[in-house]
Structure 1
Amino acid sequence: MYKKLITIMSSLALGVTCLTGCTPKVEDNTTEEKKLDKVTIAEVTHSVFYAPQYAAITEGFFEEEGIEIDLLNTQGADKTMAALISGEAQVGLMGPEASIYIFNQGSEDYAVNFAQLTKRDGSFLVGREKNDNFSYDDLKGSEILGGRKGGVPLMTFEYVLKQNGLKVSENSTDGDVNVRTDVQFSTMTGAFAGGEADYTTAFEPTATQMEKEGSGYVVTSIGADSGEIPYTAYSTTKTFMNDNKDLVQRFTNAVYKGQQWVETASSEEIAKSMQPFFEDISLEDLVSVVDRYRSIDAWCSDPTLTEEALNKLMDVMTEAGELDKKPAYDSIVTTEFAESAISNSK
């Protein structure tokens, strides 16, 4: 279903591209003070999980590189990819699995990943009761809202379940656990609060808000249990990258500065840096969220997406039955910009 949806969205987007011509170079946005290149980032979701990105914006690292950022929340990797291919966005922030699907479909102007942002699953398993001694055996016989079929959150979660010896079923009762994929990601929390399922997966700050409301309690971190995986990365089309190498390099420089800043800043400093993007969340809750993501080592310290990491992701996708062919690492990943950003900062 996920791959089929990406095909449909990509076809629509490619149609727009054909009508408007090839992806143009980004036009300069000139102001009296400084000349900035405007770059639109299509985010797969708007989440505090992406703290280094928001820090890079508020701490002025993108501006230092001559870039003005505009954020577009797409609510889905398929929609993020469509925005990227159509030229609505110049950069996509999503799981690398989307670029794998597009490459395998034979798209000429496919997406290339150039900077990794997060290195673990950012979701947490939420139950209806507190459980300080949680074991995956506790899930036997339960129903869980798992997310969208074909997406990295669901694939990673099912990978963890299988690693813990559980047989997974979807929309049935013939396994140890019934992982449902029929509830949209954006409505999972509401469905769970309304009484559906025994467990759900949730990102921050949703998990913290559920605990404050008493509607659910975090029992484990899926990211901590799955190990490192290239969960979220920046990508752009091959054409845009070839036509705007300097801009992609400056963009990567800013991301790396954000990653390095988050490495050394206090949780309160990071929370304050993110707050302009999450004004409806208290500073206290943001600090708690930062602490929780720091505790599982969620963020990359540099933007390099390694071959080993990509292979781990493709193994997870293969085990989930979502990948028939593994593209070559060099086809969908470049470390050119990450290596230069790291080298030039020394």
Structure 2
Amino acid sequence: MRLIGKAAGILAVTAALATASAPSMAQTKVTISQAFQSMLYLPFYVAIDKGFFKKEGIDVDKETAGSPTAALSAVLSGSAQFSIHGPEWTAIAAAKGADVDIICNVVNGAAVWIATTPDFKFNSIKDVKGQKIVTGLMPTTSTSLFIKLLKENGMDAKSDVDMLQVQIGSEPGPFIGGQGKVAVLYEPGLDQVVAQGMKVVLGFPKAYGPYAFSSVTARKGVDPKAAQGVVNGMELALRYMQTNVDDTVAIAKQEFPTLDGKIVEAAVRRMIAEGVYPKNVDTTPEALKVSMDTQIALGNLKEQPVYDKFVVRDYVKKALALPH
């Protein structure tokens, strides 16, 4: 009995020493409000699934707001510390005096494509003149980019095309149903119509290059420890996605169980290959300018936000320095 007691005491001391020597990183709870459950936000889901946030001491409560403005409103009201959506919404709010900025890149390509029916002859965007175009209900970046592209090519969205605007995500239905020979699509809608024989004729990721499409937004007074942990977790996720494509596809299938697995895989591989998912969390001045130019062209912004005041790179620099 004396030996058993002695052994138990040794075990207790050993356990205490192990606990004391383990990293004492307490988990900081944060709420991140995403605009939608979207395949664009896959880096966010990877960070959660692979435990990258927890590794950085962050316990994330994921909320889905239903729209970019609702997600941003959650940050402005204090019900969420961070939000994920297009940086244009943050820029518009900041221009009106809101104390918000972006701290992390999530999507760095203009993740929009134009598809047509197999028989449609497409040599340039001017070929869509006079056509009915199935596209997302404004305000949305897909339709905004399409309108801007028309304008850049001497066409007007109101007079030169007939836009059939439908709820975002439902574009494949009327397109496949024959209500238009041209559609402007996000993923996974693009690969849904490709699976039905439609053809991709123009990809905005290749046309525009780096484009700040989705970002993590926070208030300027956000807890710096929490912000650093979130940015670090996203950095680790983005690195993981570049070198572990199969596992990234598997995570996407878990996040979107009602979609055909082949469609999910095609969409994820397309977005990785075309640089839609960035290789790191940095938002470059060039990527932000191209993104904000779209909003200026549409009249949503009067001028470019000042990069150094709008993009917080302190957290980004530390995340980029994490060991590989």
Band the TM-score falls in, shorter-chain normalisation: 0.7 to 0.9
Q: What is the aligned partner in structure 2 of residue 169 from structure 1?
A: 157
Q: What is the aligned partner in structure 1 of residue 49 from structure 2?
A: 58
Match 2:203 to one of 216, 221, 224:
221
Cα-to-partner distance string for 1:8-27 (whole Å, 9 max, x where unaligned) = xxxxxxxxxxxxxxxxxxxx
Find out whether 1:302 has 2:280 as its counterpart: yes
For 2:46 and 2:130, the matched residues in 1 are separated by 42
For 1:202 and 1:119, the matched residues in 2 are separated by 17
Cα-to-partner distance string for 1:238-289 (whole Å, 9 max, x where unaligned) = 23x2xx10111011111000111111123x2211122221122344332211
How many angstroms does 1:198 deviate by?
Answer: 3.5
For 2:35 and 2:217, the matched residues in 1 are separated by 12
- Structure 1 residues 159 and 345, CA gap change in structure 2 (3 angstroms): farther
Q: Aligned runs of 1:318-337 on 2, under 5 Å?
A: 318-337=296-315
For 1:274 and 1:327, the matched residues in 2 are separated by 33
For 1:195 and 1:210, the matched residues in 2 are separated by 12
Find out whether 1:236 has 2:218 as its counterpart: yes
Q: What is the aligned partner in structure 2 of residue 79 from structure 1?
A: 70
For 2:212 and 2:263, the matched residues in 1 are separated by 26
Moved over 6 A (4+): none
SS in 2 for 1:93: strand
- Structure 1 residues 198 and 87, CA gap change in structure 2 (3 angstroms): farther
Match 1:185 to one of 164, 168, 172:
168
Task: State the TM-score, normalized to the length of structure 1.
Answer: 0.78
Match 1:248 to one of 206, 224, 227:
227
The code of the aligned residue for 1:199 comes to V
For 1:322 and 1:154, the matched residues in 2 are separated by 14
Q: What is the aligned partner in structure 1 of residue 96 from structure 2?
A: 105
- Structure 1 residues 67 and 121, CA gap change in structure 2 (3 angstroms): same
The code of the aligned residue for 1:167 comes to M
Gaps of 5+ in 1: 1-32
For 2:272 and 2:264, the matched residues in 1 are separated by 12
- Structure 1 residues 147 and 287, CA gap change in structure 2 (3 angstroms): closer
For 1:198 and 1:289, the matched residues in 2 are separated by 21
The code of the aligned residue for 1:230 comes to A
How many angstroms does 1:191 deviate by?
Answer: 4.4
Q: CA RMSD in A?
A: 2.6
